[in-house]
Amino acid sequence: MGNTRFDFTGQLAVVTGSATGIGKAASEQFADAGASVCLLDIDSENGEAAAAGIREKGGEAEFVFCDVTKSDSVDEAFVQIFSNSRSIDILVNNAGGWTEQQPVCETSEEEWDRIIELNLKSVFLCSRAAVPSIRRKKGGRIINMGSIAGLTATHTNSSPPYMAAKAGVHQLTRLLAAELGSEGIVVNAIAPGTTATERVTVARNAEQRARIGASTMAGRIGEVEDIVGWILFLASPEAGYLIGQTISVNGGRLMV
């Protein structure tokens, strides 16, 4: 993180996909800035460890198991969050990812459905569950994790359902912003370029990462910290007039 200081004292931030990677780092930074954080993930071991790490540093954090692709699991998770009469101030829909890199015609229906549910349906389910609580605060933030993959196409090393899902996330962001903006609920998305999370360093080999990095003006792929600062900014009061936008954070790899 840079030197910018944020203050989320007294606010509750809910971050999905927070056991590792960008979600974990965002949770840690929200807690450092004074927020109480609920970390949602299907990975209980790493999620519990991430929450415990925040508490060890004096922050407030709770891990809540949640399969963001299943409505029952999402509803149960948010009931648990609300059990202490807490209202959500910030929702970060960060859960997502892909596993297979293959052409459209070689993508199975099972893979298509799984990746669409993980990256797009999850945003719908978690936003639907959180909005009534955010409305009670008469304002708040929803930040959705899109991707450069939802803004441009490539015929190599791609996941068709991931690219389609992230394009859907960008459009769902605009729709939510239009529906909720007049109520003081600000909705935006971030579209990172390739970022050196644990998942990406496994899915893309060193040669691929170097090649992608060389295609950016920064000369490297993104680091988790490059993205987390934008999450906190979009949650801050300074971003209150930025509504329904997708912020591209990709080192100049794609300029639109």
Residue 41: per-residue pLDDT: 98
Query: Is 88 part of any domain?
Result: yes
Query: Is 30 part of any domain?
Result: yes
Question: Is 162 noted as a catalytic residue in this protein?
Answer: yes
DSSP state of 42: S
Taking residues 40-49, report their average pLDDT. 98
Taking residues 60-88, report their average pLDDT. 94
Taking residues 251-255, report their average pLDDT. 88
Query: Is 4 part of any domain?
Result: no
Does 198 score more than 80 pLDDT? no
| Dist. CA 112–CA 103, nearest whole Å | 12
Number of domains comprising the chain:
1
For 5-21, write each residue's pLDDT tens digit.
899 999 999 999 999 99
Does 100 score more than 90 pLDDT? no
| Burial of 79 from C-beta contacts in 10 A (0-12 / 13-18 / 19+) | exposed
Confidence of residue 152 (pLDDT cuts 50, 70, 90): very high
Neighbours of 70 (CB within 10 A): 16
Query: Is 7 part of any domain?
Result: no
Q: Which of 188, 142, 147 is nearest to 13 (CA)?
A: 142
246, 143 contact by CB (below 8 A):
no
Confidence of residue 176 (pLDDT cuts 50, 70, 90): very high
Q: What is the pTM of this model?
A: 0.93
DSSP state of 122: H
| Dist. CA 87–CA 171, nearest whole Å | 26
Q: For all residues of the chain together, what is the average pLDDT?
A: 92
Beta strands 36-41; 246-249: pairing state = unpaired
Residue 202: per-residue pLDDT: 63
Which of the following is catalytic: 6, 124, 162, 230?
Answer: 162
Query: Is 5 part of any domain?
Result: no
Query: Is 101 part of any domain?
Result: yes
Does 1 score more than 60 pLDDT? no
> Which structural domain range is residue 193 located in?
12-249
Query: Is 85 part of any domain?
Result: yes
122, 96 contact by CB (below 8 A):
yes
SS (H, E, C) 147-214: CHHHCCCCCCCCCHHHHHHHHHHHHHHHHHHHHHHHHCEEEEEEEECCECCHHHHHHCCHHHHHHHHH
CATH number of the domain bearing residue 187: 3.40.50.720
CA distance between the termini of the chain:
26
Residue 155: per-residue pLDDT: 60
Query: Is 189 part of any domain?
Result: yes
| Burial of 115 from C-beta contacts in 10 A (0-12 / 13-18 / 19+) | buried
